[in-house]
């Protein structure tokens, strides 16, 4: 077990990062053929001679994929190459039908961009610029199901079953230049970078960017060097990083692992490792005796991509608002203090709060529900907020019902709980559970009179001006109405009944 | 001119996923020496100022619209499969890791 | 009937003198009679061919308008996929495989009503110059059954020469249509690269491969050319321009005022005496027909063979990677506990022949890190130099010419153990593929020393294929006058059919 703390690590070493993000584009058809890309179809129902790599089949480039990639490059401040080509990356693997991947090698479509991210440090908010080396296009592989082993993993499996529906779906790879200078904030910076990329891509509308579904994948490269040294350390690559939280954990974990080895005088092995969600640690991939030589050469079945300058400018003019600008705008519109804004961003609820507001909810109320009660429930269940059954529409409806007086805050919490538990929409939950604010004054009066009759001494205290005593009577009424009365209204009516004005 | 050792040839066979016999490796090592000697003469004229040709014709920007067209049926897709199960291609246990 | 040209058969069908079913059956009978000796066919689609023939006959009876080759039979090189029909590419690794789709060439043939008799033999995955590399045994040259019919498309050319079909489709990467045409006394054309779709043509060397028409006459070849050529959106390297007017050119055969460039570097030592003799005679005939003969030089052609034997293996090492026993084709070694990797390795060892394995390894080497610039990279530069040579030469002439190959048909087995000697067969044909221009071979006679056919090669600039047909038709007409009868009438009688 690790005796080294993170503090130990950063007191001696500084990390250097490299991040590779793969994005699955949301085009209707695949990168090189017309098969559908719909997620979750029956196996091998979205394949053809091209994406199955049958003898004689040929690729043809999807124009929308080119457009999406250029948009991504522009949004990342890249230069769009006036001339770019596809290349074959040759290696054998059953999920890759041609046993080469059509990708790009030394002539990628976008180069030299940057992304600015902001994180909270001890000294306050700090900005980091992540430089982008390149953005290029390639194609996704099929999916394998490993059968026979105990874990469903590849090790120990007896055989595998291959579904090629995913083979050929367009992928865009975004590669950063090396990222030094993050110091102890490396994990946060990496997380913020991936989150920012995700927001940019979502704003562009080019991908679903759902890390859980695999449409956004991150490979993290980490190396350590002694503080002050110019010499780069050996890096390891970590794959299977499936959430923002995992990005942070993986990098932190790798930094500690590297430091442990280096402190012992051992070398860090340059290898690919796999992130384990359950332990937060990485596991070594099968070591290769020799590095794979991909034998790249220009793809002879495709011709060069020479984007028209006018087309590029048209795309540039159509770029949507930058996420950072959007955040500033929302903060102003909603009058949110910095700390609260940071809390929303950190909890990854900004988008869903905006969605809720766009459906008519008051921003403060929307924020308080998502950051408050719903976050609490998500933490209790140890899942992401977005994984809960409750949607922006549900919350907007609940806020509206409370505003109209149809629900009290307390009742609203019950409705939220019910929706999250899978009982249906707010209306269905209200109906099924019989939740109703008792608004009917005459019914309330009846309950009030009955409570006063049951506790005449207490009622007398109130008549005499001892207002706090009203609490006990209110409690009885609430019990009587199964908590569905509006406590404030009860108090009002009670005091009025007992000759006191509400205080 | 560079020649290949038997180990070099064996390595190429490994990269190309072909399980060659010792005799084949022997023969190829000899043949390669001759062939490489013959083909290496391309270097005589391939100077730096000569651009490479990848395509005989200067085509560019050949695209298709992002429109879905009918796929093969799963039966057609799997029609040549050496083995299949649950509408998927069945392959023996995979030892290596994805790149 | 089977000795006629396709054009003559078409006329007979139009006039009602015969039916497609009768014509098809006559060819099927011929195949039964002689193919035991020739072995041009790997698969004969008796049922499919007769069904297609009947369809055409019925359409004709209904008065439907049909194309010029509707109802005429054809042999298809087994490297082009045809739906539900066994397609092997001459390899064991695809034994029994029936594709679930048609190549565009086949789609075009079917639309034109051509009757596909079956699939013809070839060097495995189009790698070879003799059809000896077929995993299913060699094809025999109808002129002399102990000799090769050329390669890689020896089956198609032999089928023509043995009158088993009047039309055939071949593919040409370094000469695989033209060289077989030359050694069997038939006509074969490699169109400009991109002129015929490669969708469904099992790839050997993607930037060099091209399917093309083969027949016994220049006009037949032109008719077939117009059926199979044209833009295909499924092939990104396909030319989006109208098909050149090759039939009109073949019918006119007018060479008056045309400049014909003789390539200095393609007619020297190493060319058999009879080959050179027939070549010189053909030049004289063309001059008599009104053409002007000029000499042109292409100094970089001497590097073409070396560049080809780097580019083609490199591309094929990648193209053939898909044959891995996972999704189609042969699978061996799938016993208890075998891994996917070992099944792949064993299958490719057993499923591929010697030449294929040799080229895959050569290509793997040429592309490897550290060697790319010296080999593949350099070869691609030689390609540029060859194209520049052609461009310069075509400023001085309309077409360029040479003997198609240095020798007549050699004996089966004669060069099988000497790869380099085998590769030299393509020395005159390869530059054409490197530059992507058009190339034709037509018979120029037989060599006096052995009585075997000799081919005359015509080369035309990119997208000017019609020029080859003009010159080819002119020469063919002149030679026909000289011989009094088609060359193939001098071929030995096979199976006793007159």
**Locus of tokens 């994948």:** A217
Going by C-alpha positions, the residue among C163, C158, C217, C227 that lies closest to residue C191 is C227
**Are the CB atoms for C186 and C157 separated by under 8 Å?**
yes
Gyration radius (Cα) of chain B, Å: 22
Going by C-alpha positions, the residue among C237, A68, C207, C196 that lies closest to residue B61 is C237
Q: State the pLDDT at residue C234.
A: 98
Q: State the pLDDT at residue A501.
A: 66
Q: Is C176 a catalytic residue?
A: yes
**Are the CB atoms for C235 and C456 separated by under 8 Å?**
no
Domain of residue C463 covers 6-302+383-490
The full set of domains in chain B, from first to last, is 1-47 (1.10.20)
Chains that touch A (3 or more CB pairs under 8 A): B, C
Q: And the tokens for C149?
A: 């019919």
Is A441-497 assigned to CATH 1.10.10?
yes
Reply yes or no on whether the pLDDT at C497 is more than 50: no
Whether C419 has its CB under 8 Å from any CB of chain B: the answer is yes
- In chain C the first and final C-alpha atoms are separated, in Å, by 10
What value does the mean pLDDT take over residues C241-257?
Answer: 96
Please list every residue in chain A whose beta carbon sits closer than 8 Å to the beta carbon of residue C328. Answer: 54-55
Q: State the pLDDT at residue B98.
A: 58
**Are the CB atoms for A493 and A448 separated by under 8 Å?**
yes
Going by C-alpha positions, the residue among C268, C215, C216, C255 that lies closest to residue C402 is C268
Partner-chain contact C322 A98, CB within 8 Å: yes
Q: What is the 3-state secondary structure (H, E, C) of A197-246?
A: HHHHHHHHCCCCCCHHHCCEEEEEEEEEEECCCCCCCCCEEEEEECCHHH
Q: And the tokens for B24?
A: 């084949």
pLDDT band for position A211 (cuts 50, 70, 90):
confident
Please list every residue in chain B whose beta carbon sits closer than 8 Å to the beta carbon of residue A237. Answer: none
pLDDT band for position A381 (cuts 50, 70, 90):
confident
d(CA A131, CA A446): 71
Q: State the pLDDT at residue B97.
A: 63
Q: State the pLDDT at residue A283.
A: 85
Q: State the pLDDT at residue A380.
A: 86
- The burial of A337, by beta-carbon neighbours within 10 Å (0-12 exposed, 13-18 middle, 19 or more buried), is given as exposed
Whether B91 has its CB under 8 Å from any CB of chain A: the answer is yes
Out of C331, C348, C384, the one facing B52 most closely (by C-beta) is C384
Q: And the tokens for A194?
A: 């991936």
Reply yes or no on whether the pLDDT at A151 is more than 70: no
What value does the mean pLDDT take over residues C208-233?
Answer: 98
Please list every residue in chain B whose beta carbon sits closer than 8 Å to the beta carbon of residue C352. Answer: 18
pLDDT band for position B58 (cuts 50, 70, 90):
confident
Number of domains in chain C: 1
List, for residues C142-197, the tens digit of each pLDDT value: 999 999 999 999 999 999 999 999 999 999 999 999 999 999 999 999 999 999 99
Question: Which one from C5, C134, C152, C470 is the annotated catalytic residue?
Answer: C152
- Tell me how many degrees the CA angle C250-C255-C260 measures, rounded to the nearest 5: 115
Please tell me whether the interface predicted TM-score (ipTM) of this complex is above 0.90. yes
Instruction: Give the Å distances, CA to CA, from C102 to A55, B43, C109, C168, C199.
Output: 11, 41, 10, 17, 9
**Are the CB atoms for C453 and C216 separated by under 8 Å?**
no
Please list every residue in chain C whose beta carbon sits closer than 8 Å to the beta carbon of residue B44. Answer: 303
Partner-chain contact B94 A302, CB within 8 Å: no
Q: State the pLDDT at residue A152.
A: 65
Reply yes or no on whether the pLDDT at A289 is more than 80: no
**Are the CB atoms for C474 and C484 separated by under 8 Å?**
no
Whether C354 has its CB under 8 Å from any CB of chain A: the answer is no
Q: Which of C324, C370, C377 to mutate to test the interface with A (most CBs of A within 10 A)?
A: C324
Instruction: Give the Å distances, CA to CA, from A295 to A87, A142, A208, A365, C83.
Output: 10, 22, 33, 58, 33
Cβ neighbours of B79 (radius 10 Å) = 16
3-class DSSP assignment, residue A159: strand
Partner-chain contact A93 B96, CB within 8 Å: yes
What value does the mean pLDDT take over residues C347-374?
Answer: 94
**Are the CB atoms for C306 and B40 separated by under 8 Å?**
yes
Q: Which of C105, C235, C319, C356 to mutate to test the interface with A (most CBs of A within 10 A)?
A: C319
Please tell me the least confidently modeled range out of A271-280, C14-23, C394-403: A271-280
What value does the mean pLDDT take over residues B6-10?
Answer: 95
Please list every residue in chain B whose beta carbon sits closer than 8 Å to the beta carbon of residue C338. Answer: 92
Reply yes or no on whether the pLDDT at A439 is more than 80: no
Q: State the pLDDT at residue A19.
A: 96
> Is residue C96 one of the residues assigned to a domain?
yes
**Are the CB atoms for A210 and A216 separated by under 8 Å?**
yes
Going by C-alpha positions, the residue among C118, C148, C115, C144 that lies closest to residue C131 is C148
Out of C321, C329, C340, the one facing B93 most closely (by C-beta) is C340
Q: Where are the domains of chain A?
A: 6-310, 321-433, 441-497
d(CA A50, CA A168): 9
DSSP C219-282: HHHHHHHHHHBS--TT-TTS--SPPP-HHHHHHH---TT-EEEEEGGGSSTTS-HHHHHHHHHH
Reply yes or no on whether the pLDDT at A351 is more than 90: no
> Is residue C364 one of the residues assigned to a domain?
no
CATH of the domain at C209: 3.90.1300.10
């Amino acid at each position: 077990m690790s005796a080294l703390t993170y503090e130990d690590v950063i007191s001696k070493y500084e990390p250097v990062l490299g991040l590779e993000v793969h994005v699955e584009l949301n085009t209707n058809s695949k990168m090189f053929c017309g098969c559908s890309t719909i997620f979750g179809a029956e196996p091998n129902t979205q394949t053809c001679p091209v994406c199955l790599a049958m003898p004689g089949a040929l690729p043809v480039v999807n124009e929308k994929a080119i457009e999406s990639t250029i948009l991504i490059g522009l949004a990342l401040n890249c230069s769009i190459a006036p001339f770019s080509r596809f290349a074959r990356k040759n290696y054998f693997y059953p999920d890759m039908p041609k046993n080469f991947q059509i990708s790009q090698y030394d002539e990628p479509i976008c180069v030299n961009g940057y992304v600015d991210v902001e994180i909270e440090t001890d000294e306050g908010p700090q900005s980091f610029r992540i430089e982008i080396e390149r953005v290029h296009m390639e194609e996704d592989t099929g999916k394998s199901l490993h059968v026979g082993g105990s874990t469903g993993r590849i090790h120990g499996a007896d055989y595998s079953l291959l579904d090629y529906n995913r083979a050929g779906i367009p992928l865009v790879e975004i590669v950063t230049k090396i990222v030094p200078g993050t110091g102890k904030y490396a994990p946060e910076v990496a997380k913020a970078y991936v989150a920012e990329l995700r927001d940019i891509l979502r704003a562009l509308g080019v991908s679903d960017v759902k890390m859980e579904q695999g449409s956004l994948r991150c490979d993290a490269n980490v190396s350590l060097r002694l503080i002050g040294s110019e010499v780069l350390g050996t890096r390891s690559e970590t794959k299977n990083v499936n959430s923002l939280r995992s990005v942070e954990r993986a990098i932190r974990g790798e930094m500690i692992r590297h430091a442990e080895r280096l402190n012992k005088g051992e070398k860090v092995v340059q290898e690919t490792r796999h992130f384990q969600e359950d332990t937060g640690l990485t596991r070594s991939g099968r070591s290769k005796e020799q590095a794979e030589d991909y034998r790249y050469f220009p793809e002879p079945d495709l011709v060069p991509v020479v984007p028209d300058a006018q087309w590029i400018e048209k795309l540039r003019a159509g770029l949507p608002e930058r996420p950072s600008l959007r955040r500033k705008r929302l903060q102003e519109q909603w009058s949110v203090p910095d700390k609260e804004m940071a809390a929303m961003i950190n909890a990854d609820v900004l988008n869903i709060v905006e969605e809720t507001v766009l459906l008519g909810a008051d921003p403060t109320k929307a924020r308080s529900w998502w950051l408050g009660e719903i976050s609490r429930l998500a933490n209790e269940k140890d899942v992401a907020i977005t994984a809960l059954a409750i949607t922006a529409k549900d919350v907007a409806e609940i806020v509206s019902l409370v505003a109209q007086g149809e629900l009290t805050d307390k009742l609203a919490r019950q409705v939220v709980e019910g929706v999250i538990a899978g009982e249906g929409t707010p209306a269905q939950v209200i109906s099924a559970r019989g939740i109703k604010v008792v608004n009917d004054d005459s019914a309330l009066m009846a309950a009030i009179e009955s409570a006063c009759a049951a506790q005449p001494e207490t009622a007398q205290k109130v008549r005499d001006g001892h207002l706090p005593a009203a609490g006990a009577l209110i409690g009885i009424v609430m019990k009587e109405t199964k908590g569905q009365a509006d406590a404030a209204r009860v108090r009002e009516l009670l005091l009025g009944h007992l000759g006191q004005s509400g205080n | 001119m560079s020649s290949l050792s038997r180990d070099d040839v064996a390595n190429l066979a490994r990269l190309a996923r072909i399980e060659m016999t010792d005799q084949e490796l022997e023969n190829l090592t000899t043949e390669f020496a001759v062939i490489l000697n013959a083909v290496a003469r391309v270097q005589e004229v391939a100077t730096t100022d000569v651009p490479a040709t990848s395509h005989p014709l200067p085509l560019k920007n050949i695209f298709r619209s992002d429109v879905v067209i009918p796929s093969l049926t799963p039966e057609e897709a799997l029609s040549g499969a050496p083995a299949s199960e649950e509408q998927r291609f069945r392959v023996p246990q995979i030892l290596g890791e994805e790149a | 009937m089977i000795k006629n040209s396709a054009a003559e058969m078409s006329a007979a069908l139009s006039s009602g003198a015969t039916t497609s079913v009768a014509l098809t059956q006559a060819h099927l009978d011929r195949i039964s009679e002689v193919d035991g000796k020739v072995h041009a066919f790997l698969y004969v689609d008796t049922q499919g061919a007769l069904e297609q023939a009947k369809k055409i006959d019925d359409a004709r009876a209904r008065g439907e308008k049909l194309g010029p080759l509707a109802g005429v039979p054809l042999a298809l090189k087994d490297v082009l996929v045809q739906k539900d029909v066994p397609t092997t590419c001459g390899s064991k690794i695809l034994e029994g495989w029936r594709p679930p789709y048609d190549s565009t060439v086949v789609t075009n043939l079917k639309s034109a009503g051509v009757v596909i008799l079956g699939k013809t033999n070839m060097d495995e995955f189009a790698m070879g110059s003799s059809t000896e590399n077929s995993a299913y045994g060699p094809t025999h040259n109808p002129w002399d059954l102990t000799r090769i019919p050329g390669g890689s498309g020896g089956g198609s050319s032999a089928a023509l020469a043995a009158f088993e079909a009047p039309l055939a489709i071949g593919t040409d990467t370094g000469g695989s249509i033209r060289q077989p045409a030359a050694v069997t006394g038939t006509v074969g054309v490699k169109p400009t690269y991109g002129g015929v779709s490669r969708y469904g043509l099992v790839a050997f060397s993607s930037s060099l491969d091209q399917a093309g028409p083969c027949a016994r006459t220049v006009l037949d070849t032109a008719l077939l050319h117009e059926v199979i050529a044209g833009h295909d959106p499924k092939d990104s390297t396909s030319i989006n321009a109208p098909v050149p007017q090759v039939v009109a050119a073949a019918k006119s055969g007018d060479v008056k005022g045309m400049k014909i460039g003789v390539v200095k570097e393609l007619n020297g030592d190493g060319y058999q005496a009879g080959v050179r003799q027939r070549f010189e005679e053909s030049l004289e005939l063309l001059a008599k027909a009104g053409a002007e003969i000029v000499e042109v030089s292409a100094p970089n052609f001497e590097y073409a063979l070396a560049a080809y034997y780097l580019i083609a293996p490199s591309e094929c090492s990648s193209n053939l990677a898909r044959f891995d026993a996972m999704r189609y084709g042969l699978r061996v070694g799938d016993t208890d506990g075998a891994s996917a990797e070992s099944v792949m390795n064993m299958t490719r060892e057993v499923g591929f022949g010697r030449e294929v394995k040799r080229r895959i390894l050569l290509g793997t080497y040429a592309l490897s890190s550290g060697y790319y610039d010296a080999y593949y990279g350099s070869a691609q530069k030689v390609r540029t130099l060859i194209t520049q040579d052609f461009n310069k030469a075509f400023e001085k002439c309309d077409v360029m010419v040479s003997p198609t190959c240095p020798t007549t048909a050699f004996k089966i087995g004669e060069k099988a153990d000497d790869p380099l000697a085998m590769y030299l067969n393509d020395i005159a044909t390869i530059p054409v593929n490197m530059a992507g221009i058009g190339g034709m071979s037509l018979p120029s006679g037989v060599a006096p020393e052995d009585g075997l056919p000799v081919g005359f090669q015509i080369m035309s600039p990119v997208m000017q294929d019609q020029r080859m047909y003009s010159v080819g038709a002119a020469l063919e007409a002149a030679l026909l006058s000289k011989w009094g009868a088609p060359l193939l009438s001098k071929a030995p009688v096979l199976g006793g059919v007159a």
